[in-house]
Amino acid sequence: MKKTLPFLAIALFISACQTTSESDKGIQPRLADGSRPAVVSPTNTANKIALVIGNRNYEYGVLTNTLNDAQDMAQVLKNIGFDVTLKTNLNRRAMNDAIHNFGERLKQTHSIGWFYFSGHGTRAGNENYLLPTDNGGIRKQSDLQYEAIPASRVLRTMNDAKTALNIIVLDACRNQPYRSAGKSNERGLTRMQGQGSIIAFATAEGKTALDISRNKRNGLFTSHLVDALKTAYQKHQRIDDMFMQVGKAVSAESDGGQQPWYNSSLRDIYCVGGCQTVASVVETPALTPVVPPKPTPSPAPVVIVPPVHTPAPMPIQPLLPSPGTRFRDRLADGSSGPQMVWLPVGRFQMGDLQGGGDSDEKPVHWVSVQRFAIGTHEVTFAEYDRFAHATGRQKPNDRGWGRGKRPVINVSWDDATAYAEWLTQQTDRQYRLPTEAEWEYAARAGTTTKYWWGNDIGSNKANCYGNYCGDRFEYTAPVGSFSANPWGLYDTVGNVWEWTCSEFENKYTGIENKCISQKSGSPRALRGGAWNYRPRSVRTAYRLRDSHDTRYNNVGLRLARPINP
C-alpha cells in the first residue's frame, strides 16, 4: 500500500400520564464563530395567539400534573409574546367552544397559532382523540367519536385560518383514559401527517411516556419544553433546533426510555423571539491555532444543525435517539448486529488544523454532517466471519494473530461494501461505509487536536508502530483495548486502516462528503492509521488511498448507518 414556509409547522408531542386515586383530586451556512446566520421571515413578525387547555379532574382517571403543565406553558408563552387564552377542566362542549373561538381569532389576524393540550388522549383507528373531563360515559372505542374531540379537528381549524405558522403541542396522557381502555383497545396515539409541518411524538407509537420529572411539578416532556422555550427566546433560536434539544433532554432524563419521534417538512425558518438579522457570513481562516493537550480532553462544542427537509412530508423519523445512544440492530435470525452509536448533526473544520501536515490534507474547510450512526468499534473477525459463513464467502486470513474480537484484516473495499450490503438486507436498515468527512467528524468528536486527546501521541493510548505509542501489541489489538474518544468510538487512532466510501483526491474538492460509485475505478480513501505506522501517520487528519480490490494485513473497516431509514 502506498500513499498516493405561508408556512405550517405543527409540533405534536404526546406523553402519557399515570392516573391517581379519587383522594388525589385537587389540582444554512454558519458564521465564523459557528453560529447560524439568522434570516428575516414573515413568520417572525406576525401576531401570536395561543390556546392552552389543561384537563385534570376527569370523571374517570384523575390526573396529576396536567394543570401545572398548562399553567406553566401559558405563562412562558405569554412571556415570549403570545396572546394566551388559558382554559382548565373543560367538558366536551366547552372544549369545542374554545377551539372554535380560537379558530375565529386566528382567521381575523392571520397570526401565528399555538395550541397546547394537557390531559387524556387516545386513538381509534387512524384518529387521535383528546378527552374532555366528562369522559365517564366512554365505555368503548366507538364512543370516542361522540364523546371526545378529534385531534384532526384542531389541525383543520388552524389550517382553515390560513395562519402564518401553526404549532400544536399535545401532552396527552395514555394510561387508562376511559374505563375499558387497556383491555382490548389500541394503546397510545397514532401518527399524523401535515404539509409544511413538524409533527412530533414525545415517545414511540404504543409506548408510555412519563408524567413525572425531576422538578416534581410537571410531566417529563413539558418540564423540558418550558425550559427550552425560555432559552430559545433569549437566544433567538430556530424552533426546529429547540425541538431537537427538548427531545435530547427527555431521552437523557429517562435514560433512553422515552424516545421522541417526528415527521417534518418545514419550508421556512422561524426563530423563537424573532430571527436576528446579520449582514454577511464571515469566512473562517484556513488554519486554526494549536489547542494545547489536556490530561482529560473535553470535546469542543458541536454546532447543532437541523437536517435539510424537502417540501414533501417525510416519514416519521426519530427526533432522537440522542447523540451518544448506543444500539444493535437485529439480524434476520434474531441475533444482534454490530454496536453503533448515534452522533449529532454538526459542522466542523476538516483537514490539517495545526499545519505541517501533507498537501492532501488541505484546504482546511468547514463541512456540515447530518445525523448518522457509526460503529463504536472496528468490525471484528467474529462479526465478519458470521457474514462470510452465511454467504459462503471465503473467510479472510488472520495471519495467525487471532480472530474473535480482533479487527478483521485482509478485506478489500469490495469486501467491506458487500458486508454492509448484507447487514442492510438482514436488518432492513441502511448500512454502508462512512464518507471520509463523516469519519473525520466522528474521530475528532468535537476536538481540534492531532489526536482526540491532544497533540502528543502519549503512551498506551493507541496501537501504532514499535514503541512509539507505548502499547504492548506487536500486531493488531483486540478492539476496545484503549480508551474511547468523547463520542464513544474506540481505535480511531491506529490499529487498522479503515475504508471509507469516498473517492480519494489529492486536495479536498467536496467529494469527501460523498460515496463513490461501486463501478468507479478511482482510488478509495482510508483513514485512521494502523499498527505498523508511526505517530505522524495516525493523526486524525492523515489520509491514505488504495484500489477497491486490494487486501492488506493492516486494513479493516468501520460501519456507518444514516438515520434514513
pLDDT, tens digit, for every residue of 331-342?
999 999 999 999
At 176 the pLDDT is: 59
At 6 the pLDDT is: 40
At 163 the pLDDT is: 81
Residues 6+ apart with CB under 8 A from 168: 10, 11, 12, 114, 115, 116, 151, 154, 155, 158
C-alpha cell at position 76: 412562558
At 286 the pLDDT is: 42
pLDDT, tens digit, for every residue of 366-420?
999 999 999 999 999 999 999 999 999 999 999 999 999 999 999 999 999 999 9
Kind plus residue range of the DSSP H or E element containing 501? strand 497-503
State the sign of the Cα–Cα–Cα–Cα dihedral 255, 261, 267, 271.
negative
Q: Count of CB atoms within 10 A of residue 562's CB?
A: 15
At 194 the pLDDT is: 58
At 283 the pLDDT is: 39
C-alpha to C-alpha distance for 140 and 147, rounded to whole angstroms: 11
Share above pLDDT 70 across residues of the chain, in percent, rounded to a whole number: 75
Q: Reduced to 3 states, what is the DSSP secondary structure of residue 222?
A: helix
pLDDT, tens digit, for every residue of 188-225?
666 666 555 666 666 666 666 566 778 888 888 889 98
Please name the fold of domain 326-562.
Answer: paralog of FGE (formylglycine-generating enzyme) (3.90.1580)
Share above pLDDT 90 across residues of the chain, in percent, rounded to a whole number: 53
Query: Are 123 and 112 spatial neighbours (Cβ–Cβ below 8 Å)?
Result: no
At 462 the pLDDT is: 98
Query: Are 223 and 215 spatial neighbours (Cβ–Cβ below 8 Å)?
Result: yes
C-alpha to C-alpha distance for 308 and 302, rounded to whole angstroms: 18
Cα-Cα-Cα-Cα torsion 245, 121, 168, 64, nearest 10 degrees, comes to -60
Alpha helices in 333-380 (DSSP H): none
* Domain positions in the chain: 22-264, 326-562
Can you give the length of the chain in residues? 565
At 159 the pLDDT is: 83
User: Spelled out in words, what is the top-level CATH class assigned to the domain 22-264?
Assistant: alpha beta
Of the listed ranges 145-159, 248-262, 453-467, 513-527, the least confidently predicted one is 248-262
Q: Which of 72, 70, 57 is nearest to 19 (CA)?
A: 57
The per-residue pLDDT of the chain, averaged, comes to: 82
pLDDT, tens digit, for every residue of 54-103?
999 988 888 888 899 999 999 999 999 999 999 999 999 999 999 999 99
Instruction: Evaluate if pTM is beyond 0.75.
Output: no
At 173 the pLDDT is: 60
C-alpha to C-alpha distance for 514 and 253, rounded to whole angstroms: 35
Residue 260 binned pLDDT confidence (cut-offs 50, 70, 90): low
At 219 the pLDDT is: 81
| Amino acid type, 260 | P
C-alpha cell at position 359: 498537501
Average pLDDT over residues 117-138: 87
Residue 124 binned pLDDT confidence (cut-offs 50, 70, 90): confident
Residue 26 binned pLDDT confidence (cut-offs 50, 70, 90): very low
Kind plus residue range of the DSSP H or E element containing 158? helix 151-160
At 314 the pLDDT is: 44
At 211 the pLDDT is: 62
C-alpha to C-alpha distance for 493 and 320, rounded to whole angstroms: 28
Q: Count of CB atoms within 10 A of residue 537's CB?
A: 19
**Residue 558, Ramachandran bin (φ over 0: left; ψ between -120 and 50: alpha; else beta):** beta
pLDDT, tens digit, for every residue of 293-307?
555 555 555 555 455
Query: Are 217 and 75 spatial neighbours (Cβ–Cβ below 8 Å)?
Result: no
Cα–Cα separations (whole angstroms), residue 451 to 3, 157, 327, 457: 20, 56, 26, 7
C-alpha to C-alpha distance for 77 and 80, rounded to whole angstroms: 5
Query: Are 462 and 494 spatial neighbours (Cβ–Cβ below 8 Å)?
Result: yes
